[in-house]
């Protein structure tokens, strides 16, 4: 009889969202007159920019004509989009990345989940804690871990992000082959400085490890000294892969467009000790298991780089970051120690108690729903995440309720 991939059975079921839903339901039943304010949302809420919609519409009209019809496109993306990305997101910031190194995809979740496939199943993997669960789960599925014991998988190396290190983990003492990093970070909102990233790049080159750098939130960086791309660091072309997305930047969570950068300089060893191009391996994977992003979606994404598109993206980012300012200001006023919120849409708040206790306290006293940090890993315990993705009205109302409730740290 057919047998399954047993590694899947090691996966811990996540009850985070169902637990939240159950507590919110109970509150709603007990307090039918208190409107619930969801402040834990990890999804954008503002409309898709007009420049993107216009390009999207035009491409659909093209698809209705014989001459303008587009069938299968290049799996790696159309040159018009790869070139706009290379120029607008990298060369404009002084990064030596060219269009041929960009792989357009339908999402960073797919890319950051699939990238491990091209590496050895025996690769030693380091993963931040707290963390976006996809990095962990996809390595567990691929057999790079043992079982989960007390919330951590045996065999994975955890990079602890705590108040003590400003939520920026340092390179591990033990040798690892693959390291997932995410800056601006989800969930902590922490951003690595140029010096901290340089330390990582230097370490990766010394240990010949590969950094898997998730920069899905780079557009939210407002501090001019913080790098947007790992390729702003000397030497990163030889040790880093970067994931980027239009999701949070331009409201594409329901449109689906992202990309992965793999420099042609990046190599890894095969079983005989020869150096193999990681770029070529990923190209093989991408063209074998993926058929490209919809042509109209690629046109919509390219519009992000137009003058009108750039202005709209700036307005979107400013809007969400003004929300973040309100949240950060209020929480600090109430005495909470906070990270994030200045170069990221998430505010990471020390609970001063267990994360579920503060979750319950917020919900019961104000009808506000946050995300308990424990849902992101062991080091998330003792924290909650508040999100700037919301309407201004909701954020203002939530902050008013927090102050009125007399809540203090």
Give the burial class of 242: count Cβ atoms within 10 A of its Cβ; 0-12 exposed, 13-18 middle, 19 or more buried: buried
Single out the residue of 70, 93, 222, 310 in contact with a copy of itself (rule: CB under 8 A).
Answer: 70
φ and ψ at 400, to 5 degrees? -60, -45
Q: How far is the CB of 248 from a copy of itself (least distance, A)?
A: 10
269 binds a copy of itself (CB under 8 A): yes
Contact residues for 68 (Cβ-Cβ < 8 A; gap 6+): 61, 62
Q: How far is the CB of 383 from a copy of itself (least distance, A)?
A: 23
Question: Of 20 and 191, which has the nearer Cβ to a copy of itself?
Answer: 20
Site residue total, a copy of itself (CB under 8 A): 79
Single out the residue of 12, 34, 87, 120 in contact with a copy of itself (rule: CB under 8 A).
Answer: 120
Peptide bond into 184 cis (omega under 30): yes
Single out the residue of 126, 156, 294, 304 in contact with a copy of itself (rule: CB under 8 A).
Answer: 294
φ and ψ at 239, to 5 degrees? -140, 5
- Nearest in space to 347 (alpha carbons), one of 161, 188, 183: 188
392 binds a copy of itself (CB under 8 A): no
Peptide bond into 187 cis (omega under 30): yes
- Nearest in space to 182 (alpha carbons), one of 248, 253, 129, 249: 129
Single out the residue of 32, 64, 224, 406 in contact with a copy of itself (rule: CB under 8 A).
Answer: 64
The two tokens of residue 174 are: 């033990």
Single out the residue of 167, 295, 336, 376 in contact with a copy of itself (rule: CB under 8 A).
Answer: 295
317 binds a copy of itself (CB under 8 A): no
Do residues 355 and 382 lie in contact, with contact meaning Cβ atoms separated by under 8 Å? yes
- Nearest in space to 388 (alpha carbons), one of 380, 398, 379: 398
322 binds a copy of itself (CB under 8 A): no
Q: How do 368-369 and 37-38 pair as beta strands?
A: parallel
Question: Of 139 and 229, which has the nearer Cβ to a copy of itself?
Answer: 139
Candidate segments 271-279, 304-312, 316-324, 363-371, binder of a copy of itself by CB under 8 A: 271-279
- Burial letters 209-239, b for 16+ CB under 10 A, else e: bbbbbbbbbbbbbeeeebbbbbbbbeebbeb
315 binds a copy of itself (CB under 8 A): no
288 binds a copy of itself (CB under 8 A): yes
Residues 165-224 interacting with a copy of itself (rule: CB under 8 A): 177-178, 207-210
254 binds a copy of itself (CB under 8 A): yes
Q: How far is the CB of 264 from a copy of itself (least distance, A)?
A: 15
Residues 137-176 interacting with a copy of itself (rule: CB under 8 A): 137-138, 141
Candidate segments 23-31, 59-67, 304-312, 329-337, binder of a copy of itself by CB under 8 A: 59-67
The two tokens of residue 83 are: 């070139």
């Amino acid at each position: 009889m057919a047998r399954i991939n047993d590694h899947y059975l090691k996966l811990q079921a996540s009850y985070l969202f169902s637990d939240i839903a159950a507590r919110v339901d109970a509150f709603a039943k007990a307090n039918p007159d208190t409107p619930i304010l969801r402040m834990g949302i990890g999804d954008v809420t503002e409309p898709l920019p007009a420049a993107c919609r216009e390009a999207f519409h035009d491409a659909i009209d093209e698809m209705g004509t014989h001459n303008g019809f587009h069938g299968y496109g290049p799996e790696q993306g159309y040159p018009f989009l790869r070139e706009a990305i290379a120029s607008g997101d990298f060369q404009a910031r002084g990064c030596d990345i060219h269009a041929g190194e960009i792989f357009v995809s339908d999402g960073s979740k797919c890319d950051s989940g699939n990238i491990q496939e091209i590496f050895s199943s025996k690769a030693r993997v380091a993963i931040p804690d707290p963390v976006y669960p996809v990095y962990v789960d996809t390595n567990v599925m691929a057999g790079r871990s043992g079982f989960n014991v007390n919330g951590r998988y045996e065999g994975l190396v955890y990079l602890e992000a705590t108040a003590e290190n400003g939520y920026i983990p340092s390179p591990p003492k033990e040798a690892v082959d693959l390291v997932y990093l995410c800056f601006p970070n989800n969930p902590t909102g922490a951003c690595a400085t140029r010096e901290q990233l340089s330390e990582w790049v230097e370490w990766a080159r010394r240990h010949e490890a590969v950094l898997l750098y998730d920069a899905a939130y780079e557009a939210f960086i407002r501090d001019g000294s913080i790098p947007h791309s790992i390729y702003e660091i000397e030497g990163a072309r030889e040790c880093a892969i970067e994931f980027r997305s239009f999701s949070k930047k331009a409201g594409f969570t329901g449109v689906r467009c992202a990309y992965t950068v793999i420099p042609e300089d990046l190599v890894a060893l095969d079983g005989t000790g020869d150096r193999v191009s990681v770029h070529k391996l990923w190209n093989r994977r991408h063209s074998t298991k993926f058929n490209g992003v919809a042509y109209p979606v690629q046109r919509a994404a390219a519009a992000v780089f137009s003058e009108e598109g750039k202005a709209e993206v700036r307005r979107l980012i400013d809007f969400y970051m003004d929300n973040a300012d309100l949240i950060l200001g209020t929480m600090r006023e109430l005495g909470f120690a906070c990270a994030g919120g200045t170069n990221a849409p998430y505010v990471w708040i020390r609970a001063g108690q267990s994360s579920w206790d503060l979750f319950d306290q917020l919900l019961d006293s104000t009808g506000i729903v946050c995300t308990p940090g424990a849902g992101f890993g062991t080091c998330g315990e003792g924290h909650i995440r508040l999100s700037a993705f919301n309407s201004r009205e909701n954020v203002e109302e939530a902050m008013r309720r927090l102050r009125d409730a007399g809540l203090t740290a």
